[in-house]
Amino acid sequence: MQNNELSGPPAITLDKVNKWFGSLHVLRDVSLTVAEKERVVVCGPSGSGKSTMIRCINRLETHQEGRIVVDGTELTDDLRALDTVRREVGMVFQSFNLFPHLTILENCTLAPIWVRKMPRAEAEAVAMGYLERVKIPEQAKKYPGQLSGGQQQRVAIARALCMKPKIMLFDEPTSALDPEMIKEVLDTMIGLADDGMTMVCVTHEMGFARQVAHRVVFMDLGEIVESGAPRELFENPRTDRLKLFLSQILRGH
Amino acid sequence: MSHATATAEHIPTEARDRPPAGIVGPWAWLRANLLGSWWSTAITLVLGYVIVRVVVSLVAWGVLHAVWSVPYGPTGIADTSACQNAKGYGACWAVLADKYRLILFGRYPYEEQWRPAIVVLLFIGLFIVSGMRRFWRKELVLIWIATLAAVGVLMWGGVFGLSLVTEDYWGGLPITLILATFGLAFSFPLAVLVALGRRSTRLPAVKMLCVLYVEIIRGVPLISVLFMASVMFPLFMPAGVNVDKLLRAQIAFILFAGAYLAEVVRGGLQALPRGQAEAADALGLSYWKKTGLIILPQALRLVIPPLVNTFIGFFKDTSLVLIIGLFDLLTMGKVALSDPPWQSFSTEVYIGLAVIYIAFCFAMSKYSRGLERDLNRSRTR
């Protein structure tokens, strides 16, 4: 992956971020910079704080120390600034979190209509465009409960895209899917990457990381242990912790 | 069916439409459930006999030997000797025939009783229209306001050529429906706000207020709240300010129902997976948009059974206004029985009242099952 096209002000900056859950220190002096159009994959064992870190980026979790600046706006207790940040940051969750009482189309048009104040017809046109892009336009009138897991996750991606965000966050998007559905979701994410989206993705799919990521960040016990180009990290791990992690997940692949 | 070998073709088994007869069907059900074993058969026969005996005697008492009307003496006083003679042997439905207007409309002037009758029909119409989902639009609020205004005009009068009838003459079914309808219509939004307030993380003062409200109200019986509203409330008002008794009872109901409904709604809010609020947050929805579009529609759907439970309970709790001297449906039943010729026929009066209460409560119950089925259609694959 070339790094020469990445320049300009960073999209996301984490500066010595610390977070505690009660007395549990879950993020320890985490510092990370993500440039515009950069694609970063975050990996690590469970409990390493990778999900917590990514959830701090759109303030689903709040940090106690350090600074987080997203799209030029610092994340503080200011609610209005937070709303502007969240409009530009889309998130895809491990458990899809589609709204079960709304149709697929309504799921996708809800935020554009109520947050960006788009007229309904325009919002529906945009939504159908993204549903076609994730290859399920025929499901628009169905309810989430009627779709398979892979289809639901693709709808979740389309829903996030309908807000035309500048940054997309993925929190283990394929971890809850049957193996045969993982490919269709990863293909969608690769298509997104090809269009130049800034992405931060927490995942265990190392093949995806190799293909798409500019940088892979390995976290363990709340801190960033190693970070670098995917090929470098996977073939020449420097720390023992990363070597252990790779041996556990690669399992002879 | 042959054992599969490495090279044999698998011949699919045909799907059949239904299991073999003898396993399903009414006769099979009977055999399995009622006559499954000797013990089961014996109990079926004994209970069957008991049920038949009871039903036969009820039909005999209630229909075959019942007295449907009695003659009236020269002074207009009923001659209930026929009923007295049939006591224990046949029901005296004549008491309902004689007293139905008193029970239903209280002391409302006899010639004007068409007004509360229309009020009752308006309420029933309002419930039916509100229940139909195709009317769930903003206009429904206007329909409610218009109906409630019409109820006020009809009951009070004084305008449009109607004679004025003050609240002390109101009684019976209109009082029950007014207290129940206004009570639940106002307490439900209050309950939603209190439930949301109780879960607030950003406003600790609001949260504490909501907790106090719920815990204090739940700690005292409804009777004592009504009593306090009717007796103590005027003591705290400046001299000359006189809040009408029906209004005080209404406010007491709203506050009481609000506390119980708030906990039911809070249960629904808790049951909703956190991911729903997170997804709404991630899309940039503000608190009220998130609550109104995502959280409440799902949370309320989850708690339809306990909500309807509370509604039905409070509908019947309106009978407690007897304590503060308001004459609802049940109280008018007791008043009707205080008339000397009819004093011993309380069973028949209470059965009549029960039929009315059951009609309303069963309608609520049936409606809620339909509502659940409709709203949850989207949940099933």
Q: Smallest Cα–Cα separation from B175: which of B32, B305, B332, B61?
A: B332
Q: Does B288 touch chain A (CB under 8 A)?
A: no
Residue A70 sits at the chain B interface (C-beta within 8 Å): no
**Is residue B374's pLDDT more than 60?**
yes
Give B-chain residues touching A100 at CB under 8 angstroms: 298, 378-379
Please tell me the least confidently modeled range out of A222-231, A236-245, B155-164: B155-164
What pLDDT shows up at residue B381? 39
Main-chain phi, psi angles of B80, to 5 degrees = -95, 20
Computed over every residue of chain B, the mean pLDDT equals: 87
pLDDT at res. A109: 96
* Percent of chain B whose predicted confidence (pLDDT) is above 90: 40
Tens digits of residue pLDDT in B44-99: 889 999 999 999 999 998 888 888 888 887 777 777 788 888 888 888 888 888 88
pLDDT at B336 over 80: yes
Q: Is B292's Cβ below 8 Å from some Cβ in A?
A: no
- Indicate if the alpha-carbon torsion angle A33, A37, A41, A47 is positive or negative: positive
pTM of the model: 0.85
* CATH assignment, B99-380: 1.10.3720.10
Contacts of B297 in chain A (CB under 8 A): 101
B372 touches chain A (CB under 8 A): no
Give A-chain residues touching B381 at CB under 8 angstroms: 145-146
What mean pLDDT is predicted for residues A43-52? 91
Task: Confirm or reject contact between A163 and chain B (CB < 8 A).
Answer: yes
**Are B334 and B106 spatial neighbours (Cβ–Cβ below 8 Å)?**
no
Distance CA B270, CA B285 (A): 20
Between strands A223-228 and A215-220, the pairing is antiparallel
Contact A145 B378 (CB under 8 A): yes
Question: pLDDT, tens digit, for every residue of A170-200?
Answer: 999 999 998 888 998 999 999 998 888 899 9
* Helical (H) or strand (E) element with B94: helix B94-105
Q: What is the pLDDT of residue B378?
A: 63
CB-count burial class (<10 Å; 0-12, 13-18, 19+) for B123: buried
Does any CB of chain A come closer than 8 Å to the CB of residue B203?
no
pLDDT at B261: 96
Among the partner residues B278, B293, B298, nearest to A114 by beta-carbon distance: B293
Looking at the complex, report in whole angstroms how far the Cα of residue B6 sits from the nearest Cα belonging to chain A. Answer: 26
What pLDDT is stored for residue B35 in this prediction?
A: 73
Q: Considering only CB atoms, which chain B residues are within 8 Å of A86?
A: 281-284
Residues of B in contact with A93 (CB under 8 A): 275, 278-279, 282
Nearest chain B residue to A111, by CA: B283
B13 by Cβ neighbours in 10 Å (0-12 / 13-18 / 19+) ranks as: exposed
- Which of B276, B279, B289 is opposite residue A114, by nearest beta carbon? B289
Q: Are A13 and A69 in contact (CB under 8 A)?
A: yes
Residue among B202, B283, B286, B290 with most chain A CBs within 10 A, to mutate: B283
Contacts of A20 (CB under 8 A, 6+ apart): A26, A64
pLDDT of B12 reads: 85
Whether the per-residue pLDDT at A250 is higher than 90: the answer is no
Site of tokens 């079926």: B44
CA of B144, closest CA in chain A: separation in Å?
27
Residue B172 and residue B335 in contact, taking contact as beta carbons nearer than 8 Å: no
User: What DSSP character marks residue B8?
Assistant: P
Is residue B356 classed exposed, middle or buried when 0-12, 13-18 and 19+ CB atoms within 10 A define those classes?
Answer: middle
pLDDT digits 0-9 by tens, B299-321: 999 999 999 999 999 999 999 98
Helix, strand or coil for residue B179? helix
Determine the pLDDT at residue B344: 86
Name the minimum distance, in Å, from the CA of B266 to any CA of chain A: 19
d(CA B127, CA B130): 5
Q: Are A46 and A202 in contact (CB under 8 A)?
A: no
Q: Do A100 and B298 touch (CB under 8 A)?
A: yes
CB nearest to A86's CB, from B282, B375, B378: B282
Identify the CA nearest to B367 among candidates B310, B296, B305, B319. Answer: B305
**Taking 80 as the threshold, does the pLDDT of residue A225 lie above it?**
yes
Whether residue B279 and residue A143 make contact (CB cut-off 8 A), yes or no, is no
Contact yes or no for B279 and A90 at CB 8 A:
no
Contact B284 A159 (CB under 8 A): no
Which of A58, A99, A101 is closest, CB to CB, to B282? A58
pLDDT at B210 over 50: yes
Rounded-to-integer distance, Cα A214 and Cα A42, Å? 11
Q: Which of A136, A202, A167, A176 is nearest to A12 (CA)?
A: A167
- Asked if A146 and B293 come within 8 Å (Cβ–Cβ), the reply is no
Mean pLDDT along residues A224-237? 91
List C-alpha distances in Å: A63 to A18, A42, A55, A71. 6, 18, 10, 17
- Tell me whether B278 touches chain A (CB under 8 Å): yes
Q: Residue B279 and residue A97: Cβ atoms within 8 Å?
A: yes
Asked if the model's pLDDT at residue A3 lies above 90, the reply is: no
Percent of chain A with pLDDT over 90: 74
Q: What is the pLDDT of residues B112-168, one digit of tens each?
A: 889 999 999 999 998 888 888 777 777 888 888 899 899 989 988 888 888 888 888
A positions 95-114 inside 8 Å of B (CB): 95, 97-101, 110-111, 114
Domain ranges in chain B are: 2-64, 99-380
* 3-state class (DSSP) for residue B13: coil
Q: Average pLDDT, stretch A140-166?
A: 94
- State the pLDDT confidence band at A146, using cuts at 50, 70 and 90: very high
Residue B165: predicted pLDDT:
86
Whether residue B281 lies within 8 A of chain A, CB to CB, comes out as yes
